[in-house]
């Protein structure tokens, strides 16, 4: 299945000059969504991992069904002020501003093998901050799974040696 057919370009969102990759058409097509989760599950099925850290907010959409399929805990990484308990904090920059990511301090245990999951890799700032959260907790990032990778922005270079798996590249 060509998943690119299910991604819509929205120019000048959220700011002028940004070409937003809208995943809504993919989510509205049950076969495309099932195929997406199946591809992630097939790729990560035999890899040793203890948990999945899904990145707010669209990473949750893919992280929850993948965690269910693989029988792994799902740990949310959220923007500042969204988690009620004690958190680890990491600041980062993205292509149109800066922000702070948080993860509960009890989400990842020391020595855990962790998969990061998000919808899109642009410059890599969000995923690098999320990886920092995992490492602060004592976990080890074994890779990053993504629906979309904007390869022309070279976000992989901000992720060090992590295995990066993306279903769609632009």
Q: Quick: pLDDT tens for 17-30.
A: 989 999 999 999 99
Range of the domain at 103: 48-169
- Is residue 3 assigned to a domain? no
* % of the chain surpassing 90 pLDDT: 92
DSSP assignment of 11-35, as one string?
ET-SSTT-EEEE-HHHHT-HHHHHH
In a domain, 53, yes or no: yes
- Residue 45 or 98, more confident: 45
Mean pLDDT of 105-131: 96
Q: Please tell me the total count of domains within the chain.
A: 1
pLDDT at 98: 83
**Nearest Cα residue to 24 out of 160, 149, 148:** 148
- pTM, rounded to two decimals: 0.94
CATH label of the domain that carries residue 143: 3.40.50.2020
**Confidence bin at 94 (pLDDT 50/70/90):** low
Q: Could you identify the residue written with the tokens 């959409």? A: 61
Q: Reply yes or no on whether the pLDDT at 147 is more than 70.
A: yes
Cα gap 147→152, rounded to integer Å: 16
In a domain, 5, yes or no: no
Catalytic residue list contains 86: no
Rounded CA-CA distance 145/2 in Å is 18
* Residue 95 pLDDT grade (very low, low, confident, very high; cuts 50, 70, 90): low
Q: Is residue 57 part of a domain?
A: yes
Instruction: Give the neighbor-by-neighbor strand order of the sheet with 164-169.
Output: 87-94, 97-104, 74-79, 51-55, 113-121, 140-149, 164-169
Token match 């992720």: residue? 159
The one catalytic residue in 15, 42, 91, 95 is 95
Q: Is residue 86 part of a domain?
A: yes
Nearest 5 degrees, angle CA 158-CA 92-CA 128? 35
- Residue 35 maps to a domain: no
With a CB cutoff of 8 Å and minimum separation 6, the contacts of 38 are none
Q: Which of 56, 58, 78, 102 is catalytic?
A: 58
What span, in angstroms and rounded, lies between the C-alpha atoms of 56 and 126? 10
The residue count of the chain comes to 170
Q: Is 95 a catalytic residue?
A: yes
pLDDT (tens digit per residue) in 57-71: 999 999 999 999 999
Contact 142, 163 (CB under 8 A): yes
Question: What is the enclosing helix (H) or strand (E) of 62?
Answer: helix 58-70
């Amino acid at each position: 299945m060509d998943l690119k057919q299910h991604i819509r370009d929205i120019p000048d969102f959220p700011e002028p000059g940004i070409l937003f990759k809208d995943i809504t058409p993919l989510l509205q097509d049950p076969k495309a969504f099932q195929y997406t989760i199946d591809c992630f599950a097939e790729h990560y099925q035999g890899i040793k991992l203890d948990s999945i850290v899904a990145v707010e907010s669209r990473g949750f959409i893919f992280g929850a069904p993948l965690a269910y399929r693989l029988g792994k805990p799902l740990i949310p990484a959220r923007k500042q002020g969204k988690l009620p308990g004690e958190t680890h904090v990491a600041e980062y920059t993205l292509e149109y501003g800066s922000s702070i990511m948080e993860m509960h301090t009890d989400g990842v245990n020391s020595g855990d093998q962790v998969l990061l999951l998000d919808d899109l890799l642009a410059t890599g700032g969000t995923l690098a901050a999320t990886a920092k959260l995992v490492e602060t907790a004592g976990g080890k990032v074994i890779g990053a799974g993504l629906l979309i990778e904007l390869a022309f922005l070279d976000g992989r270079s901000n992720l060090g040696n992590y295995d990066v798996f993306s279903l769609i590249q632009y």
